[in-house]
Amino acid sequence: MNSGIERRAKPVPVGNKMLIHPSVCVWFRGILAAFVCGISVRVAAGEPLLERLRLSRTEEGQLVAFNRGNYQARELAKVLPLDLPWPVGAELAKAVVKFGVNRVVPPATQPMPSRILGDVFLVGQDRRSTNLTYMVDCGAEGVMLIDPSYDSEFERTVANVGKCGRKPGDIKWVINTHCHTDHSWADYKFSAAGAQIILHEADATAVERGTRVTAFERYELKEFPVSRVDRRLSDGEELRLGNKVFHVIHTPGHTPGSICLLLQVENKNVLFSGDTIFYDGMLGLQSLAYSDNDRYLKSVAKLEMFKLNAQPVRWDLLLPGHGVIVLDRAYLDVQKARERLEHDLMLGRELQVMPHSLPEYRRRMFGRPPTTPGE
């Protein structure tokens, strides 16, 4: 008989345990359905499905997205006694464990695709090396990629562009910060798909003819997969792509035609630095043919003193070709690169990429508080 009073289902005991209340199950199924439906709607609407950069605030006050290798080496320099030699190879891995630098670590590679700032996204690479490929949404006219890297990652990069809400056919421009194979290998595939290939005039011939400036032998290639170059850049040029304006800065040294790009986003100065500037004093590989250390130093000094419309530029974000992404106070990294180059060249020291084993770096870092990797 219906008494007019709502009868609520009760949880049913099983042994000495209590099953979840039926109303909770209904609620949970509703939440799950809404979540799945929400994803379906987002995909159908073309809304980006993005990962999130794991950001850390360092003891120097910078907000950065570490990769695991750089993070562990930097943290090890804070705790490894100065009277011990810097470990290499298998000994480095043992030291990381011994000094507890392996307990909480960032991802081995950057999460992607992810939004960095505004219309700037990270779309590669998470399988090979530490290469970083960026996408800039230039509005209705299309998107631009910076340093597409390996041809084996072409499909993966295009798929990540799709997860950022754009179609494969929207990829209209590909810029190489320089001609080295790990940055330009996929050019020929993007060119065949209809994108314009753009790089500095001093590196353009290397990509078109597959010369040794591309350093293709390092990648066990018998020859470089050549590509047509549609546009040659020069220093000081304003490159207008869709609704974006990039300022071209010729920074030779790593290669004759290395460039950096300035893009202003949300009142911040973004530096796409290729292999010219990296986080925390890391340098580009200078042991390759056609590298020029003196020109490299001059290029870094040029960035440190760079002006736009007669006004000094204070670098905010650093988006390099490899490794760690810097979200603020990037001018510190330009300064560190210049100071390190001046010091090493004055001593006649061979330039090495990573700074962590250098005596002056270890003295500066030892005893500093740890940086907790972002989650």
d(CA 155, CA 145): 14
Q: What percent of the chain has pLDDT over 70?
A: 87
Q: How confident is the model at residue 47 (pLDDT cuts 50, 70, 90)?
A: low
Q: Is residue 5 domain-resident?
A: no
pLDDT tens readout for residues 113-126: 999 999 999 999 98
Same domain, 34 and 178: no
β-bridge pairing 196-200 and 171-175: parallel
> What average pLDDT does range 199-225 have in this prediction?
95
Longest alpha-carbon distance in the chain: 98
Q: How confident is the model at residue 161 (pLDDT cuts 50, 70, 90)?
A: very high
Same domain, 130 and 150: yes
pLDDT tens readout for residues 238-297: 999 999 999 999 999 999 999 999 999 999 999 999 999 999 999 999 999 899 999 999
Q: Is residue 9 domain-resident?
A: no
Residue 319 structural domain: 56-365
Say if pTM beats, i.e. exceeds, 0.85.
yes
Count of CB atoms within 10 A of residue 357's CB?
Answer: 16
Same domain, 303 and 229: yes
CB 184 within 8 A of CB 211: no
Give the burial class of 143: count Cβ atoms within 10 A of its Cβ; 0-12 exposed, 13-18 middle, 19 or more buried: buried
Q: What is the dihedral of CA 120, 126, 131, 134, to 10 degrees?
A: -10
Same domain, 271 and 318: yes
SS3 160: helix
- Residue 194 is predicted with a pLDDT of 97
* H or E stretch covering 113: none
Same domain, 37 and 61: no
> What average pLDDT does range 172-200 have in this prediction?
98
Number of structural domains the chain divides into: 2
